Structure 1
Amino acid sequence: MPLLVRRWAGQGRPGDAGKGDARRQWAWTRGRVVAAFAVLTAGLLAFHRAVPNAVGRLGSLLETFLPWLGVVVLVLFALALLRRSVTALVALLLPVAAWTYLFGGLLLPVAESGPHDLVVVQHNVSDENTDPAGTARALSDAEPDLIALQELVPPALPVYEKTLAADYPYHAVRGTVGLWSKYPLTDARLLDIKPRGIAEPWSRGLRTVVKTPHGDIAAYVAHLPSVRVRASGLASSWRDESAGLLGKAIAAEPLKTVILLGDLNGTVEDRGLAPLTSRMNVAERGFALSFPTAFPLARIDQVMARSTTVAHIRTLPATGSDHLPVAARIALR
């Protein structure tokens, strides 16, 4: 009998063993590798400017895809659940907080439009677009006040002019970039943003004045040089040089209100665009990933503004281009 009592005492009440196993499954001592990656991800989000750009422009490369670190956080969260690690879950609070601080505002509800708002569309139409007329109609269907286009090649330009003429009687084209407007345009001129290393003819900048009912606005349309992701890193020196020239031109602009529309071949987080983002406001709401069309990874088509606000930006349906069009609402002050 004493032996039987001791056996029952050791076993405890039925079900207690299972509860003990469940309690042991969630532990502080496991998942330390997942926790370490969570801290590293938080560090990259919070201190991405500290990543050096001297070798392979790794800083710019990271900043191009910075929002996608949110996917890394989700993967780490799944691993933390799989490992039943309290340590990892607590550590994940750091990258969640950092990502929310950087990008959470873009997900907030859009404010109602005001009576002085301006709707603009930005689109790299592609020099290989086989349906320029359809592209023009698709952009016009969004009913913007301004339409900025890049990669306007000579065979397609007359098609855009004819298709947009009824709704956009004013337009200016310089080189391969152009602006169509419902309001009169004046003082249109070529903007020299050509990097020194490009020898062939290259005209990708336009500056004009839009005479809106709410006052004159300086409108800049630009197409910065392309970047390439290589084994050695990000090749963006021409893009960065061109952004610097464009930033100097905007800094010297005498009109107070400025709108920049263009394929800038960079995201607003990319430090290569700092000559622009340091002087201008970027979109307050919306991600609007615009490139490539098949699986958009980044928004390299930008709408920025000075002395006014880019209240919201969104993508439009695909056209015959490898970029998605973006539409933005400018809240004029």
Structure 2
Amino acid sequence: MTQVDTAETGQGSLAADDEGTQPAGGSSPGPWKRGPVLTACALLLGLLLLLHGKLTDLAGLGSLVETFLPWFGLFLPVLLAGALWRRSASSVVALLLPVTLWLNLFGGLLGDKSHQAGDLTVVSNNVAAENRDPAGTARDLAASGADLLALEELTDQARGTYEKELAKAYPHHTVQGTVGLWSKLPLSATRPVDVLRGMVGPLAEQLEPEDIPADPPRALRTTVATEKGPLAVYVVHLGSVRVMPRSGFWTESRDAGATKLAKAVAAERSERALVLGDFNGTMDDRAFDGLTSQLRSVQDVAGDGFGFNWPAKFPVARIDQILVRGVEPESAWLLPATGSDHRPVAARISW
């Protein structure tokens, strides 16, 4: 009997194995328990996209993340591929959070929202102080046919070249310090706008000369006389940002300039306003909340794609902006690279 019982027990074990039951020690996790690291990464990415505005700005961390926020979307296909490879249902479900948030933030930039209409074409370009061919840059910009042409980072040495090359196409122009506006329409009430004065702080000894608040000014305000009435135009070059060994991502000069500019725009009496130039930051950056609450980005409203324009050879961010109030953006695009490290930004607006 003992031998028979033993045989029957063995047969019972084989039957259990045939039905797919494995010993507890050799069992594998189900699809909802696989890939816990991938699931955690997906959730963290979602939280970053949802709460990036709450991220600490200590050492400029928040500003740095927001500058390159669209690029965090590159993690989505990587995480999806990992989830499919691990056959992790929990990771796939967790990915719904960052995918939804990224599309909510940037999905509108994936299509072409431009229209052919428009009353005025405007172009802005940081022409770069180290530009070796200012004459060629001026000719390229004039060939765009823009009605208004804003230039930033003008030097005393190159100013005469731009004035000479642009004189035929633009009978009206004004230069205030390192920024200028060339126009086919009459200009009036031009004045400099202070966006840098008083910005020297404990980091001053680490700054480049161009970042130390002093004359010449780096912003101007003027009135353009159009057929439909006056248009207030601001041409701006905000302070640079730096990655510094002791202080991290340094944005103090730019941020304070953005605050001053926002106050100037808020005090602007003209219903129609155009603000363009080199902001040294993207519109996702919290530093520009004061401006984006008053103005619309032409790229967001009427652009095709993200409109990255810096650096010119391989653009990874849009740091040159065209913002409007009281007029309608119809289209926004980039011009071919000039002799600068910034690609020019362009837009058409209508009344």
TM range, smaller chain: 0.7 to 0.9
2:72 is the counterpart of 1:72: no
Larger mean Cα displacement after TM superposition, 264-273 or 73-82: 73-82
Q: 1:287·1:313 contact (CA, 8 Å) conserved in 2?
A: no
Counterpart selection for 2:266 from 248, 251, 254 = 251
Q: 1:30·1:83 contact (CA, 8 Å) conserved in 2?
A: yes
Counterpart selection for 1:242 from 243, 254, 257 = 257
After TM superposition, give the deviation of residue 192 of structure 1 in Å.
Answer: 1.6
State the alpha-carbon separation in 2 of the partners of residues 212 and 186 from structure 1: 12
Counterpart selection for 1:224 from 220, 231, 238 = 238
Structure 1's 62 and 165: CA in aligned 2 closer, same or farther, altered over 3 A?
same
| Cα displacement string for residues 149-205 of structure 1 (whole angstroms, at most 9, x for unaligned residues) | 001112211211122222222111110100111211111111122231135433101
2:93 is the counterpart of 1:90: yes
Q: Secondary structure at the match of 1:168?
A: coil
Q: Which position in structure 1 is the counterpart of 2:275?
A: 260
Counterpart selection for 2:182 from 162, 165, 180 = 180
Q: Which position in structure 2 is the counterpart of 1:52?
A: 56
Counterpart selection for 2:291 from 268, 273, 276 = 276
Q: 1:153·1:176 contact (CA, 8 Å) conserved in 2?
A: yes
Q: Which position in structure 2 is the counterpart of 1:152?
A: 154
Q: 1:132·1:160 contact (CA, 8 Å) conserved in 2?
A: yes
2:335 is the counterpart of 1:316: yes
Larger mean Cα displacement after TM superposition, 271-280 or 249-258: 271-280
Q: 1:195·1:241 contact (CA, 8 Å) conserved in 2?
A: no
Structure 1's 34 and 11: CA in aligned 2 closer, same or farther, altered over 3 A?
same
State the alpha-carbon separation in 2 of the partners of residues 312 and 44 from structure 1: 31
% same residue: 48
Q: Secondary structure at the match of 2:53?
A: helix
Counterpart selection for 1:40 from 41, 44, 68 = 44
Q: Which is greater in Rg?
A: 2
Q: Secondary structure at the match of 2:189?
A: strand
Structure 1's 199 and 249: CA in aligned 2 closer, same or farther, altered over 3 A?
closer
| Cα displacement string for residues 90-141 of structure 1 (whole angstroms, at most 9, x for unaligned residues) | 2111111111111111122224232x43221111000000111111122222
Larger mean Cα displacement after TM superposition, 32-41 or 311-320: 311-320
Counterpart selection for 1:290 from 291, 295, 309 = 309
Q: Which position in structure 1 is the counterpart of 2:125?
A: 123
Amino acid at match of 1:137: R
State the alpha-carbon separation in 1 of the partners of residues 213 and 348 from structure 2: 37
Amino acid at match of 1:236: T
Where do 4+ consecutive residues of structure 1 move more than 6 Å? Answer: 6-12
Q: 1:25·1:84 contact (CA, 8 Å) conserved in 2?
A: no
State the alpha-carbon separation in 1 of the partners of residues 331 and 80 from structure 2: 30
Counting matched residue pairs gives 318
Q: 1:287·1:314 contact (CA, 8 Å) conserved in 2?
A: no
Structure 1 gaps of 5+ residues are: 1-5, 17-23
2:34 is the counterpart of 1:30: yes
| Cα displacement string for residues 195-232 of structure 1 (whole angstroms, at most 9, x for unaligned residues) | 31135433101111111222210000010000112354
State the alpha-carbon separation in 2 of the partners of residues 92 and 117 from structure 1: 44
State the alpha-carbon separation in 2 of the partners of residues 170 and 176 from structure 1: 17
Structure 1's 41 and 201: CA in aligned 2 closer, same or farther, altered over 3 A?
same
State the alpha-carbon separation in 2 of the partners of residues 43 and 10 from structure 1: 44
Q: 1:262·1:301 contact (CA, 8 Å) conserved in 2?
A: yes
Q: Which position in structure 1 is the counterpart of 2:24?
A: none
Counterpart selection for 1:104 from 96, 104, 107 = 107
State the alpha-carbon separation in 1 of the partners of residues 328 and 77 from structure 2: 32
Larger mean Cα displacement after TM superposition, 64-73 or 200-209: 200-209
CA RMSD of superposed structures (Å): 2.5
Q: Which position in structure 1 is the counterpart of 2:347?
A: 328
